[in-house]
Chain A
Amino acid sequence: MVDATADAPRAPHHRPGRLKEFWRYFRENRGAVIGLYVFAFFVVLALGADIFAPHDPTQQFRDHTLLPPFWTAEGSWSFPLGTDPLGRDILSRLLHGARYSFFVGLVVVVLAASTGILIGLVAGFAPKWLDTVIMRLMDIILSFPSLLLALVLVAILGPTLLNAMIAIAVVLQPHYVRLTRAAVMSERTRDYVTSAKVAGAGLGRLMFITVLPNCLAPIIVQMALSFSNAILDVAALGFLGMGAQPPTPEWGTMLAEAREFILRAWWVVTFPGLAILITVLSINLMGDGLRDALDPKLKRS
């Protein structure tokens, strides 16, 4: 890794910008580019759910319960992906559900990453005893299976979408602490840090401006990973009745509501799960691309 602040003035125009260089490597991974397009497509759908959705996601068409998708004999174009047991349009619910999933992923990642990075930086720079205390605390959180801990936290806080997000952020945050601390540990002894220290940089500057930018690569990859994990976990919590509550069109909750109809109406189960799978898959594809593009060990140049 190069120190951006030290290198920039020396060769300002001859080297491609970092973003451009990153894009060059990212583009080489075809899967990652496909993932990016699918992801972008879903984000647009989620943002424009009000425009694209043919119906209100909670409106119940009592004459049209459990209608199959349009390509089957009984299907109709006014409910393209069929209706659920209460006669709600599945496509509209999926589109609005996408909003919840992306929102949840975003909030959880921001929450987990910001606290995790901060704690990790502190652990990396702190005296040994404090470092030990912090790392033991993280070990404790990591000894619980993540979904179980999230479930119990939600049981304590009460089953709402917000609490599910907090619980998942708590469970994901130790990974950031570990990554940041490990990166700080290896960077801290480098010459550029010593020189910054000698030049009189305070602890805050040292932490956030000198060291942190050089630790970001693994953290960014982890962010992609926990984005998809957050979406999966919140859907799992919703499925167990401990996340978003009906009639919220959240994908996991939709699956839970559809469970008793699985042998009668395959479409009420298939589509929400497919939506989760495609979203998570596209994010993981991007994550793999990010890792290849950012990991200096794998760069071929």
Chain B
Amino acid sequence: MADEKETTAAPAAPAPPKKGWEPTGEIAESDASKALLEKFAGFAAPVKNLAKEPTVMVKKEKLVEALEYLKSDPQHLFDYLSDMTAVHYPDNDKKIMTVYHLYSTSRKDSIRVKCELDEGEACPTCVGVWPAANWMEREAFDLMGVAFEGHPDLRRILMPDEWEGHPLRKEYPLGGPQEEEIRSNKYGKPQLLPDDLEEARKIIEEGRNER
């Protein structure tokens, strides 16, 4: 019985995507996305989406210009930066993607703008467009390791300043850099301290120095 179960379960397990991440669904269009594609022809491309959310991929060179256009053009007025984040795709050609969710408080419309980056490439900052992006970009830098060109105060925000590595990257283990160390139990099994107080103190002191 047990063997049968295993054999039936094995083919059902999804094959991990090998050739990078590619969105599926259909291309959703809104007035804003059409206008953006028209104005930045050659620099912007529509992206498929599952839930019919209009999405546009903009090239890095024109990103800030496009965001500024969406914000200030009287037709669009996307004055509210709802969310900004970054995603790591180690299997894609362009490994980092920054994602902007914009909303217009006057027209009650939303659009998603994305930008692809190479590994180690800096993304132009949009703090000049929305001050709200300040902490969002700091967070993306902290957790994803994306540098933002022209950011006024690019420091870590959630992790300690002296932290090494960027936790949300795919190669970063869930247990952190010490994961292996903890698993291998470097300090050995827990010991009972000896009854003699002096000796016990000595052992504790040694342990402290080691750490």
Q: A and B bound?
A: no
Interface residues of B (CB under 8 A from A): none
